[in-house]
Amino acid sequence: MTKLDLQNAVLVGFSMGTGEVTRYLGKYGSERVQKAVLIAPVPPFLLKTNDNPEGVTPLRWHYEAIVEDRPAYFSAFFREFFNVDVLLGDCISNEAIQASWNVAAGASAKGTLDCVTSWLTDFRDDLPRIDVPTLIIHGDADRILPLESTAARLPKLIKNSQLVVIPGGPHAIRLIPCCWTFFRGDYL
């Protein structure tokens, strides 16, 4: 941001990228940022603990499935990522799913495992530092990052934020054409 001398930027993150937006604003502030958008967010903190009862149970099965058969894990993951049982054919094609699978399969095995670890980052200290208007978008049928554990909690933790829930939206709301009508709205 500094090197490029960006001013009045809008930071947009999807899924794990929402952690990057959150951490950036928490660490560096909003001097160069006008607004933020968090799409299918990971924050505030995904892991269920004594001080985070809204979180989800440990994600150990992801590690085990990746180690056992990484390509099969990707196939299972993308079925849930896109809600294939509901949206295949009408809102997502097999080819689009295969393209995502191809990208994932091209990632390193270590990177795939490290990805799971990053889901457990605690962003709760960063959220109160966000002081720009923030749009939070989440599907109510997200099977990867449950609405109640993530986005539904954020309006209380981020000042000047707005939560928009996409009815029937899967985790992949930014990739599903059926959800694109929302993005033509006047939210930004």
36: three-class secondary structure by DSSP: strand
- Whether residue 2 is contained in a domain is answered as no
pLDDT of residue 178: 62
**DSSP secondary-structure letter at 152?**
G
Of these residues, 100, 142, 149, 161, which one is catalytic?
A: 142
List, for residues 114-161, the tens digit of each pLDDT value: 998 888 899 999 999 999 999 999 999 999 999 999 999 999 999 999
pLDDT digits (tens, 9 = 90+) for 35-73: 999 999 999 999 999 999 999 887 778 889 999 999 999
The catalytic residue among 100, 149, 161, 171 is: 171
Q: Which domain holds residue 96?
A: 9-183
Is the pLDDT confidence value at 17 over 70? yes
Instruction: Tell me whether residue 84 is in a domain.
Output: yes
- Which of the four pLDDT bands, split at 50, 70 and 90, describes residue 182? low
Q: What pLDDT is recorded for position 41?
A: 97
Domain count, the chain: 1
> Counting Cβ atoms within 10 Å, is residue 117 exposed (0-12), middle (13-18) or buried (19+)?
exposed
CA distance 68 to 48: 25
Among residues 15, 100, 149, 161, the one annotated as catalytic is 15
Q: Is residue 80 part of a domain?
A: yes
* Residue 56 placed within a domain: yes
Residue 4 lies in a domain: no
Annotated catalytic residue 15: yes
The reported pTM is 0.91
Instruction: Examine residue 75 and state whether it is found in any structural domain, yes or no.
Output: yes
- Residue 3, domain member (yes or no): no
Q: The CATH number of the domain where 101 resides is what?
A: 3.40.50.1820
| Residue 21 located in a structural domain | yes
**pLDDT for 188:** 46
Question: What's at 45, amino acid-wise?
Answer: F
Distance CA 65, CA 58 (A): 14
Cβ count near 153 (within 10 Å): 22
Angle between helices 94-105 and 60-81 (to 10 degrees): 150
